[in-house]
Amino acid sequence: MSNRPVLRQGVVVRKLEAKDEAYTIVRASDPDGLKYYKFEDWEYDLLSLIDGTRQVEEIAVEFHRLHPERGFGLQHVVDYIEGLRRIDLTERSEQERHLVLMDKIKTVRKKRFYDAESSTLFMIHFPLFDPDKLLDRVIPWIRWWWSPWFVWSWLGVFAVLLTFLAYHWDLYWSGFFDLFRAPHKTLSYLIGIFLLLIIVSLWHEIGHGLTCKRFGGEVHKIGFMLFYLIQPAFYCAVDDSYLFPKLSHRMYAVFGGAYFELMMCSVASAFWLLTPAEWAVHHLALTVVFLTGLSAIILNMNPLIKLDGYYVLMDWLDVPNLREESFEYIGSFFKKRLLHLKVSSKPISRRRRRIYLIYGLLSIIYTSLVLLLIGGFLRRLFVGWLGPAGYIAFLGLSGFLLRQRIRGVFRFFRHLWLDKKDLLRSRRVPALAAPSLLLLAVLLAVPHCATRIEFPFTVDPARRAVVRAPWGGLIRRVEVVEAAEVKQGQLLAVMENPELAAERDTLRSDRERSLRQATVARESGEVATEREREAEASGARSRLEMLDGKLASLELRSPLAGVVSTPDVETMVGRRLEAGEAFCTVDQIDRVRLTVMLPESEIEEIRTGTSARILVTAYPERTLASCVLSLAPIAVPPEEGLEKSLDLIQRVNVVRVGLEVGNGEKLLRPGMTGRVQLLGPPRTIAEKSLRALSRWTASQLW
């Protein structure tokens, strides 16, 4: 150790005040980038004394004068400086610097493409370059972008835009989802959306970097990352904002990305509103509005993930490393209070305990939900691509991505075993084991309950009738509306056919003329002419009766009692229907049928009359009862996406199972969904487990 130790060149020491504590932030630079360290409040004075002008003995004497309560002697100071040397905060000899530099260069080479140290399961980092000098050149030209008059002007523009979007919310919402409806988009369109996402993300991160530079910070890292494994994005390290003395400046650096995004959104909105709809720039501007508007702000401001909202909350609460500290506190609480393990704990204020508990629980719940969503997406992706073998690929990928967490779980259980093994080996354990095993055996072998087979269903009407036009014609009048209840034979609509009506009038005229001519022939004694005219009149009458029947059938009536299920049927007035074309559908829903597509591997014990319990998605608090009404005589291939129709190595066919349920209250409507439990023979838990294992083994190893 040098007799006059000095902090390494480039090390910056700042003392900051928080709501409930003061602390010291130290920044150091090396070939790997900037690093930040948090020290206690009193360490600021000790670090300030290590300036190369004092010997170690003088540093110890001076620090003892400043902080006599700490009881720091010469040995403490020597050990402290040695600790600083190990983390490369003090100057080293030429040979030591050379060795450290070579080690750092090796590390940088390994991290040139993939930064494993700062990457997590949710954010994988790929560093690109050091943008500090480039931003230094840009800042003088745009420094006025952070002037109050300019900031408030842009925020006012965005407020007007937000009001417009709120007024036309349906347009915004439907357009946003149509933007990502991939099956209806071309490859070039999807590539364009991807490039726009990259540009918007890069612009956002440049906003962070420029804002940090504007208030005196340094920005030495910008790169690309995969967010939640599937969403591309950029990142810009603005850790230098930790050194800003003012809390407002630190929060400005965090809000810088959102501020730049608001500017882009406002400009795009102007192009969208001021250009004709047929112009390509109009559609491009609308897409930018979708990508930079409320959706991006809501995502970036979410404090439960480590994006802008998290760092704003962390600065506002003055709690550094909020997420990590919260997880550590909850983990220690669980180990200490529930498992009675010995864990090292540090004193934490009541305020921070409340913050850690609330934020930690919310973050754990949110992270678990995100993991479930990502897992479900990847499972569907692999199963759709590889079939049943996709489950193996999904489990392999999950194990690889979560390998660190899995190792942590194994370490935890190993620690739990080492801590509790003496207790498990004590004499009390065998005394408690026998009753426990007996109780377990009773629970497995005594209680009987039905063997439940659970699958989704779709509601269909008990009967469905399609009312069709018997002849071509125009709909003159509609007597019902959508969802109207009708009786059997009730008039639904009246059609008219001008051609049939004109033909009927012509036949009436011909019949009357033939009758007059027959009367004249009778008076004249012309018997043959009389009979000929009477035959013509009889033929006209027969044809007239037939036409009257056709015209009467143009009154469309319901063939059964039920509900009109055709949307907007009342708007069909004036529409022309061809012969056989459907006018509306009438569903009989006083009883409904439930259709379940059951895999053939589960059909063994299902018979006509098998009991069933029904849970409808729309009424989760009510459970309905029914029984199997019919089973299809043949099995058919499953529909796409019916993943429960899979075993380990192949798809299995499905059998249509029908159930009928009374629907006097009209709660169930065609198209509704839910889940049905088919109740097989009662079995114990042990019998169910052995049966499932034997069936699976027989099907896979036969």
Cα gap 123→461, rounded to integer Å: 49
The verdict on residue 595 lying in a domain is yes
Tokens describing residue 279: 């112009």
The verdict on residue 398 lying in a domain is no
Percent of the chain with pLDDT over 70: 82
The verdict on residue 405 lying in a domain is no
pLDDT digits (tens, 9 = 90+) for 64-83: 888 888 877 888 888 888 88
* Residue 117, φ and ψ in degrees, nearest 5: -65, -40
pLDDT of residue 114: 40
- 620, 696: one domain: yes
Residue span of the structural domain in which 44 resides: 12-110
Cα gap 299→257, rounded to integer Å: 12
Q: Give the residue, 491 or 506, on which the prediction is more confident.
A: 491
- How far CA 114 is from CA of 150, 226, 569, in Å, comes to 39, 11, 61
pLDDT of residue 122: 55
CB-based burial of residue 181 (10 Å sphere; 0-12 exposed, 13-18 middle, 19+ buried)? exposed
Cα gap 263→506, rounded to integer Å: 76
Q: Are strands 123-129 and 33-40 parallel, antiparallel or unpaired?
A: unpaired
- 548, 626: one domain: no
The verdict on residue 387 lying in a domain is no
- 455, 474: one domain: no
Name residue 302's amino acid: N
Q: Look at residue 649 and tell me whether its pLDDT is greater than 70.
A: no
The verdict on residue 435 lying in a domain is no
pLDDT of residue 410: 85
- Among 468, 487, 341, 363, smallest CA distance to 414 is for 341
Residue that terminates a domain, selected from 577, 609, 624: 577
Contacts 24+ apart (CB under 8 A), 45-53: 46/72, 46/77, 46/80, 47/7, 47/13, 48/13, 50/5, 50/6, 50/7, 50/81, 50/84, 50/90, 51/6, 51/7, 52/4, 52/5, 52/6, 52/91, 53/4
Q: Three-class SS of residue 618?
A: coil
- How far CA 267 is from CA of 146, 156, 262, 270, 362, in Å, comes to 17, 13, 9, 5, 36
pLDDT digits (tens, 9 = 90+) for 522-571: 778 777 777 887 788 788 788 878 877 777 888 889 988 888 888 888 88
pLDDT digits (tens, 9 = 90+) for 94-149: 444 444 444 443 444 333 334 444 545 456 667 777 888 888 888 888 888 888 88
Is the pTM value of this prediction over 0.85? no
Residue that terminates a domain, selected from 110, 133, 166: 110
Write down the mean pLDDT value for the chain: 77
- 26, 141: one domain: no
Cα gap 107→192, rounded to integer Å: 36
- CB within 8 A of 158, min separation 6: which ones? 262, 265, 266
Q: Three-class SS of residue 230?
A: coil
Least confident of 48-62, 114-128, 365-379, 389-403: 114-128
Per-residue buried b or exposed e for 561-573, using 16+ beta carbons within 10 Å of the residue's own CB? ebbbbbeebbeee
- 94, 192: one domain: no
CB-based burial of residue 238 (10 Å sphere; 0-12 exposed, 13-18 middle, 19+ buried)? buried
pLDDT of residue 396: 85
- 187, 300: one domain: yes
- 455, 465: one domain: no
pLDDT of residue 115: 45
The verdict on residue 370 lying in a domain is no
- 175, 73: one domain: no
Sheet with 123-129, strands from edge to edge, namely 123-129, 222-227, 231-236
The verdict on residue 369 lying in a domain is no
User: Which regions of 400-448 does DSSP assign to beta strands (E)?
Assistant: none
- 261, 177: one domain: yes
pLDDT of residue 30: 64
Rounded mean pLDDT, 446-456: 81
Rounded mean pLDDT, 514-518: 80
Q: Are strands 673-683 and 611-616 parallel, antiparallel or unpaired?
A: antiparallel
Q: Look at residue 281 and tell me whether its pLDDT is greater than 50.
A: yes
Residue that terminates a domain, selected from 317, 341, 371: 317
Q: Three-class SS of residue 347?
A: coil
The conformation of residue 334, written as its DSSP 8-state character, comes to I
Highest mean pLDDT: which range of 163-172, 455-464, 642-651: 455-464
- 522, 544: one domain: yes
- 193, 306: one domain: yes
Helices (H), 487-601: 498-524, 527-552
Cα gap 223→607, rounded to integer Å: 62
Q: Look at residue 39 and tell me whether its pLDDT is greater than 70.
A: yes
pLDDT digits (tens, 9 = 90+) for 351-364: 888 888 898 899 88
Cα gap 647→655, rounded to integer Å: 15
Rounded mean pLDDT, 191-209: 81
Q: Look at residue 397 and tell me whether its pLDDT is greater than 60.
A: yes
The verdict on residue 445 lying in a domain is no
CATH number, domain with residue 685? 2.40.30.170
| Total domain count, the chain | 4
Cα gap 198→623, rounded to integer Å: 49
Percent of the chain with pLDDT over 90: 1
- 467, 569: one domain: yes
pLDDT of residue 502: 81
pLDDT of residue 586: 92
Rounded mean pLDDT, 236-263: 78
pLDDT digits (tens, 9 = 90+) for 304-333: 877 777 877 877 777 777 888 888 888 888
